[in-house]
Chain A
Amino acid sequence: MNLSRKLTVDDLLAELKRNDRRSQEQLYKLLASKMLGVCMRYAKDTFEAEDMLQSGFVKVFKKIGEFRGDGSLEGWIRRIMVNTAIEIYRKNQRMLNVVEIDEVYDAPQTTFDLNGLEAKDLLKLIQQLSAGYKLVFNLYAIEGYSHKEIGEQLGITEGSSKSQLSRARAILKEKLIKMEGTKYVNHVG
């Protein structure tokens, strides 16, 4: 399934570079759901995520000529989505100039059975994080960026990136414990 998709996406490349509208639509149909899955982790709700997805795909189609085929086209498109999320975050930061303060918990080092959880549930938890924590956590834990890269992208120090990550993790763990608790309660009740 994955292999056939990859082949199809890469096959579209030549036509995409000619701005062929039909192949643009095909690419969108192939990748939109997956990319919305990415955007959802960076957004606070579905509306924001769909906005991100839309401007991300517009960028993809406009910049397709710059894709040199170093990696997979899907990976390149995913990076564009992530960069779009970073841009939106920066824009909001400038506009609102918000100093976010999250309560920090010293979460106990416990084991979580995440296999029992649905991605949808986890997504809710991540979306509840404040914008800065959410971004750093996503970039580091899921996208695999280094603290140095995150610092450069967001204009913060490496140390700040590290501390934001650990706070984000702590908050998530705290929320997971709470969720486990309610689940258990629901089970019992």
Chain B
Amino acid sequence: MSTMSDKEFDKQLRRKFEDFEIEPSPMVWEGINKSLAGTQRKPFPRFLVAAASITAIVAIGLWFAPHKEPIKLYGSAKVPEAPVQEKIDRSLKAESITSSEAEIRDYKPVLAKVSVKTEEKTAKNYSEETSAVAEDKPLVLEAPKVAQRVELIEKPIDNSPVVSEAFFTTKTHQDLLAVHEGSVDSTTDKSKHRIKSLGDLVNFVVGRVDKRKNKIIEFSKDDEGEEISGLNLGLLQYKTRAN
């Protein structure tokens, strides 16, 4: 046996493997196919993730929002009040344009409902300050009727803290009404839209853009701060109370 260089040894081995082939099992291609399919499907989840996150945000919103159940009481307390507001608005316009006696009388009883039902004091204050509007006879005559109605509503919810809140809101409306009566002015309307917080700002901007009754998003304030009180995403609508 003669010696053989390492180089020669390597060369011979290399040659041996030059055309060396082994048929792989079909499992290999299946595996490749699977991993390629996995990577090609990647673009899809982006859409799913977006949809899922929107759903999550809405779900979180709904989860945190309805924690105040007594809010329903607002609804019942406010029922007689809503038409008052509307009517007054109309009365203001009517007054400024026509100032016809008949029309004003139509509204006065309604005004009386508010001014008499809670505190006579404020009614008096404003009656002193302003004109004789509050002392008008139809107002006084109508008062007991309204007081009764309000009592009916108030009785079952006497002890709840929300009720006292309801009182305050009616009181402020009453104040506003008195101002309306005294000097036919639109300043109260403006003060209603004064922007004091982020929620107000959002409401203002949304109000400008979204002319629907139920805005896409609406904030409201209470003792605990601001919260989303209304949401209108087409099919999905949510509202804490009638605004």
Contacts and interface: CB of A to CB of B under 8 A. Distances in A.
A36 to B, nearest CB: 5
A37 B21 CA distance: 5
Interface stretch (A26-34, A69-77, A88-96, A150-158): A26-34
A141 B28 contact: no
A37 B17 contact: yes
Interface stretch (B2-10, B45-53, B201-209): B2-10
A57 B14 contact: no
B235 interface: no
A19 B10 CA distance: 39
Interface string A54-83: 100110011000000000000000000000
Tell which of A28, A112, A141 has the most Cβ of chain B within 10 Å.
A141
Contact of B4 (A19, A34, A112): A112
Contacts of B28: 32, 36, 50, 53-54, 57
B100 interface: no
Contact of A119 (B17, B32, B35): B17
Contacts of A10: none
Contact of B23 (A25, A36, A62, A111): A36
Interface of A: 19, 21, 24-25, 28, 32-34, 36-37, 40-41, 46, 49-50, 53-54, 57-58, 61-62, 108-112, 114-115, 117, 119, 122-123, 140-142, 166, 169, 173
24 contacts: A19-B40, A28-B32, A32-B24, A33-B23, A33-B24, A37-B20, A40-B20, A50-B27, A53-B28, A54-B28, A57-B32, A58-B36, A61-B32, A61-B36, A110-B1, A110-B4, A114-B12, A114-B13, A117-B16, A119-B20, A122-B16, A123-B17, A142-B13, A169-B6
Interface of B: 1-4, 6, 9-10, 12-14, 16-17, 20-25, 27-29, 31-32, 35-36, 39-40
Given A57-B28, A115-B12, 11 more contacts: A34-B20, A36-B23, A37-B20, A40-B20, A53-B24, A53-B28, A58-B32, A111-B3, A114-B12, A122-B17, A142-B13
